[in-house]
Amino acid sequence: MEVDILEFKVPMDNNKTVFVWDIPLVLTQDQIYEQLYHVFSSFGPLYLLKLCPNAPLHPPGFYAIIKFYSTAHAANAQRLTHGRPLLHSSALKVKLSSKQTPHFLSGRNAPLSHARCLELVNHYLGFNGWTSDIITLKELTSEEEGEDEEEDVGGARQRMRFGCIMKLSFPRYGVTTRGTAVVEETFTCTGPDVLLQRRCKLQRSVREKALVQAFSSVLLILLGNGKVMVELKQTSDQFEADETEDVLEVNEFFPSDEEEADDEDWDLTVS
């Protein structure tokens, strides 16, 4: 049975990239883009569709670069569209990329953005196929008093940091994982409105970053019969997340003697 494994990372493999040549100038660039997206997204979700004008020495027209998440989807798209009249009566040239990935880039796929992670998981599992929950969301403070505030023209310079632990679950498959993140920002505080806006922005950012980190350990396994399985992998990012999670949990459950144990009154400390 044919099996394809998807990671929540930017696709870098050549066999996931399709090139389309000889796109005639019969429609506007926006119309061509829409038609290409309609055709190729029918084979599977796309990470990228880039439409570019031909070089000056070539006939007027366009070429396209299309990246799939799935190797099988890219292969099917190439096989079923090459030489077919997809745009009016013009037959297109569709080929898989033969360009070799530089050695220093192999195995270094960047994680998908938060929006891309949601797009991919919802496509294969649906909105009800997974859940996410906040385990910890805390504002982190420095050990040295006064370190976070500096006087500046027009307001005080402040540094704000948040730590978050997110739980990612796939109930149908009995799979659960966690992601952790810490984000910080230094800004000039000109009033309580600015402080509130920055606080909300950082809280949202750290939640999204922790969820992206959780997705980085998830594998979507596409079976040839159309079924999808979910498995976990152990990565170096996961080891770093475990260390961050230990720091957050230790500070949450074991406050120092000088701090009160009331969750609403004491802050975490990250050294």
**Mean pLDDT throughout 11-16?**
89
Q: Which two tokens stand for residue 126?
A: 């649906």
Of the two residues 207 and 240, the one the predictor is more confident about is 207
Asked whether the beta carbons of 137 and 182 are under 8 A apart, the reply is no
Q: Where in the chain is the domain with CATH 3.30.160?
A: 114-142+156-232
| % the chain with pLDDT above 90 | 55
Residue type, position 207, single letter: R
pLDDT of 271 above 50: no
E strand intervals along 14-148? 17-23, 46-53, 62-68, 85-87, 90-91, 93-96, 131-141
Of the two residues 238 and 94, the one the predictor is more confident about is 94
**Mean pLDDT throughout 84-101?**
79
pLDDT of 265 above 70: no
Given the candidates 3.30.160, 3.30.70, 2.40.160, 2.70.98, the CATH classification of the domain at 114-142+156-232 is 3.30.160
pLDDT of 60 above 50: yes
**Mean pLDDT throughout 101-118?**
75
E strand intervals along 35-170? 46-53, 62-68, 85-87, 90-91, 93-96, 131-141, 149-152, 155-170
| pLDDT at res. 148 | 46
pLDDT confidence bin for 92, thresholds 50/70/90? confident
**Mean pLDDT throughout 174-189?**
92
Quote the CA–CA distance of 143 and 134 in Å, as a whole number: 25
**Mean pLDDT throughout 172-181?**
96
Q: Pick from 43, 42, 40: which is nearest to 51 by CA?
A: 40
Q: Which two tokens stand for residue 15?
A: 């066999």
Q: Where in the chain is the domain with CATH 3.30.70.330?
A: 11-107
The whole-chain average pLDDT of the chain stands at 82
Distances (CA, A) of 230 to 60, 88, 119, 135, 268: 46, 40, 16, 22, 34
* Residue-wise burial string across 9-23, b where 16 or more C-beta atoms lie within 10 A, e elsewhere: bbbbeebbbbbbebb
Quote the CA–CA distance of 148 and 139 in Å, as a whole number: 13
pLDDT of 156 above 80: no
pLDDT of 269 above 50: no
Please report where in the chains the tokens 């070429």 appear, as a residue. 63
Which segment of 73-77, 125-129, 170-174, 235-239 scores lowest on mean pLDDT?
235-239
Bridge-partner residues for 187, per DSSP? 158
pLDDT of 168 above 90: yes
CATH number attached to the domain at 11-107: 3.30.70.330
Distances (CA, A) of 167 to 26, 179, 222, 243: 50, 7, 23, 16
Q: Which two tokens stand for residue 105?
A: 């880039």
